[in-house]
Amino acid sequence: MRLNGGRRSKKTSGNRKKECRSDEQYQTIQQLAQEMNPDSAKPYGISTACRALDISRAAYYKWLNRKPTIHQLDNQAILEYIIELEENNHYIFGVKRLVTYINVETPYHVSHGRVRRIMRKGHIRASIRVAKHDRRAEKKEYLLANKLYTVDAGHAFHPVRPNLVMVTDCSELTYGIKNEKKLRLSAVKDLYDHSIIAWRVAPTETAQLVTDTIKLALKNNNGIKPKTMHSDQGSAYTGGEYNTFLAGEGIIHSMSRPGTPGDNSPMESFWSHLKTERFAFEQALSEVEMMKQIEDAIHWYNYERRQETLNGMTPMEYRNHAVKEIA
């Protein structure tokens, strides 16, 4: 049925779908909001966390103050029944047998898919007839492990010297009269002094772009290699070209956990400073102007922007001071 004289409502299903997020994403906002910003030594806060995940504050607070639906309450009751049944029977039941028990012994009628989803969300697995290990998946899990995070200690964002741990990421920049043109900016940052070691741009984010950025970082750093290079799990960073290069250089590849932007918050913080403190006040009409603005902004960040967490020094002042002490 159409309203407004046969015209479709402006509030399209596409707009509604954009705000339809999973609980994990909203929980990520809660976690990221409490993470410490390495530049300001203060929590990121809800606003920054919402921007990082492209979720409106209104949608987040709506989720935070939500009331469970009847379906959710039913799922919780089914989960509690499954846990009790499994604990009393040494976790011998799989999805098929659980469906039988639930449909016969409870007032609920469930499908295999619904039980599977409830078990997955409740982290419940049968103890018998377990599927064989997926060796490829296990290898990927090892390769993509976050080397900068532990449950007990949290994030290890404060190495004891320069050139020990670096982080990298890409961000989209727009230019043109209507900001209709786009570039991908790739950068490498040293976690010790927050300095940007290298940067490159390309029309799109590719394995070649991120690999060339790392190569330039090693060149700018007189061939000195970091022990660890951290990134997110973007396709450019999981590809063979990038990982083959890191392995060949003897650099450990650390990666953020899926859906956890806080694992690479030092780079997210850098992008935020660049965009809110520089690019928000400058309009590049051409690629040449955009390149000049990027160069000026990174020079400003490295040589002019003082940071409280660096004892009031700029990144390059702090870096040079550390090099002199080591020497």
DSSP assignment of 245-312 equals HHHHHT-EEEEPPTT-GGGGHHHHHHHHHHHHHTGGG----SHHHHHHHHHHHHHHHHHT---GGGTT
* C-alpha torsion angle, residues 161, 164, 169, 175 (rounded to 10): 50
* Helix (H) or strand (E) run with residue 105 in it: helix 95-105
Q: Confidence band (pLDDT; 50, 70, 90) for 30? A: confident
Question: How does pLDDT run across 204-251, given as a tens digit for each residue?
Answer: 999 999 999 999 999 999 999 999 999 988 889 988 899 999 999 999
DSSP tag of 78: H
Hey, is 45 helix, strand or coil?
A: helix
Section 127-151 average pLDDT: 56
**pLDDT tens digit string along 157-186?**
667 788 899 999 999 999 999 999 999 999
Using the predicted structure, report yes or no on whether residue 94 has a pLDDT greater than 90: no
Choice between 217 and 156, residue whose per-residue pLDDT is larger: 217
Identity of the residue numbered 152:
D
Task: Give the model's pLDDT for residue 14.
Answer: 43
- Read off the pLDDT of residues 289-322 as tens digits, 9 standing for 90 and up: 999 999 999 999 999 999 888 888 999 999 888 7
| CA 280 to mean position of chain CA atoms | 23
Q: What angle do CA 254, 260, 262 make, to 5 degrees?
A: 80
CA distance 27 to 17: 19
Tokens of 292: 């000049």
Q: What is the pLDDT of residues 33-90, one digit of tens each?
A: 888 888 788 888 998 888 888 889 999 898 888 888 899 899 999 999 999 998 888 8
The residues, any chain, with a CB within 8 Å of residue 232's CB and separated by 6 or more, are 169, 255, 256, 261, 263, 264
Query: Binning pLDDT at 50, 70 and 90, where does residue 144 land?
Result: low
Residues 283 and 317: their CA atoms lie apart, in Å, by 30
Q: Where are the beta strands (DSSP E) in 27-152?
A: 149-150
Does the pLDDT of residue 132 top 80, yes or no?
Answer: no
CB-based contacts of 103: which residues, under 8 Å, 6+ apart? Answer: 109, 110
Q: Which are the contacts of 19, defined by CB distance < 8 A and separation ≥ 6?
A: 55, 56, 59
* Residue 136 pLDDT: 54
Distance, CA of 265 to CA of 157 (rounded, Å) = 9
Q: Please report the pLDDT score of residue 254 as a whole number.
A: 87
Give the confidence band of 32 by pLDDT, cuts at 50, 70, 90. Answer: confident
State the pLDDT at residue 92: 82
* Closest CA relative to residue 109, chosen from 79, 78, 80: 78
8 A C-beta contact, residue 236 and residue 209: yes
pLDDT of 257 higher than 50: yes
Q: 273-283, pLDDT tens digit by residue?
A: 899 899 988 89
Torsion angle, alpha carbons of 291, 293, 295, 296, to 10:
160
Residue of 142 and 232 predicted with greater confidence:
232
Q: How far apart are CA 302 and CA 319, in angstroms?
A: 10
- Statement: residue 202 has pLDDT above 70: yes
- Mean pLDDT estimate for the chain: 83
d(CA 216, CA 218): 5
